[in-house]
Structure 1
Amino acid sequence: MLTLLKIIFGLISCILAVYSLITDKFEIMPFMSLFMGLMILMTGLSDLKENRKASAYTLFLASGFIIFVAVYTFIF
């Protein structure tokens, strides 16, 4: 389940990145960042499930920062 979500979030962020590069519409970059953060969060959860705690905590911090920046750019 986590692997499927990780793949889905990764595909969505890649599709948004390619669309943004082709059309020069950079307004969707916060959406791309949000899905990238969710993908990293799923990676952290799968690492925590496999008892790789140091890697999981690092991924949680990175994911939290990316999601915070994405939400901040939505608001402002």
Structure 2
Amino acid sequence: MLLFLRILFSVLTVAFATYGLITKNYEYQGYMVLFMGLMALVMGIQEIQQKRKMMGWFFIVGFVFTFCIAIQGFIFV
């Protein structure tokens, strides 16, 4: 299940990034950052399950940072 979510969030991130690059329309950049953060959260959970706690917490901290940036982008833009 986590692998499916990781792949889904990766595909969505790449899709939004590609759309922005091709059309020069960065309206959906906040969604890209949000899905990238969710991908980091899933990767962090996977790392913790595989007993690599340090790397897992690193990914979770990355998720918190990108989540805050995405929320800030949704509120102030």
Provide the TM-score with structure 2 as the length reference.
0.96
Q: How far is 1:23 from its partner?
A: 0.7
Structure 1: gaps of 5 or more residues: none
TM superposition outliers: structure 1 runs of 4+ over 2 Å? none
Question: How large is the RMSD of aligned CA atoms in angstroms?
Answer: 0.5
CA distance in 2, matches of 1:72, 1:13: 18
Instruction: State the shift of 1:10 in Å.
Output: 0.3
Shift of 1:27: 1.1
- Match in the other structure for 2:64: 64
Unaligned runs of 5+ in 2: none
Q: Deviations over 1:12-64 (max 9, x none)?
A: 01001001111111111000000000001000000011110000111110111
TM-score with structure 1 setting the length: 0.98
Alignment length (residue pairs): 76
